[in-house]
Amino acid sequence: MRIPILKLHNYLLISIQIDLDDQTAIQFQEDLLNKIHQSGATGVVIDLTSVDIIDSFIAKVLGDVVTMSDLMGAKVVLTGIQPAVAVTLIDLGIHLNEVTTALDLEQGLIKLRQELEE
């Protein structure tokens, strides 16, 4: 199962609509980094609205993806994290401190543009 990555101008849009398993997450990480390399995108929005469960491994992969993309010059925003997911992450002690977040895709794009303009 591969997660589709859409390109929109300079941005990459990813909407995750399944519960990620470890394999898919790793695959997604590789796909995204390759895509950034190919397209030279400067911003990435990962939308998690439909994700109900995030375990510690997936959280780590997401955190890593953000750091890696940053290294490759693409700013990442996570959007639409569900309250239950947020509470679980905090309880697990995963704070994702370096990650920019936004309420939804729209806000995410606005934040991305703001950060890239600065």
Q: In whole angstroms, how close is the CB of 96 to other proteins at the nearest point?
A: 6
Q: In whole angstroms, how close is the CB of 86 to other proteins at the nearest point?
A: 4
Nearest CB to other proteins, comparing residues 42 and 88: 88
Q: In whole angstroms, how close is the CB of 38 to other proteins at the nearest point?
A: 28
Q: In whole angstroms, how close is the CB of 101 to other proteins at the nearest point?
A: 4
Nearest CB to other proteins, comparing residues 60 and 95: 95
Angle formed at CA 31 by CA 100 and CA 21, multiple of 5 degrees: 80
Nearest CB to other proteins, comparing residues 39 and 107: 107
Q: Which residues bind other proteins (CB under 8 A)?
A: 78-83, 85-87, 89-90, 95-97, 101-104, 107-108
- In angstroms, the CA 56 to CA 61 distance is 9
Nearest CB to other proteins, comparing residues 30 and 106: 106
Contacts of residue 62, Cβ cutoff 8 Å, sequence gap at least 6: 25, 46, 54, 78, 96, 99
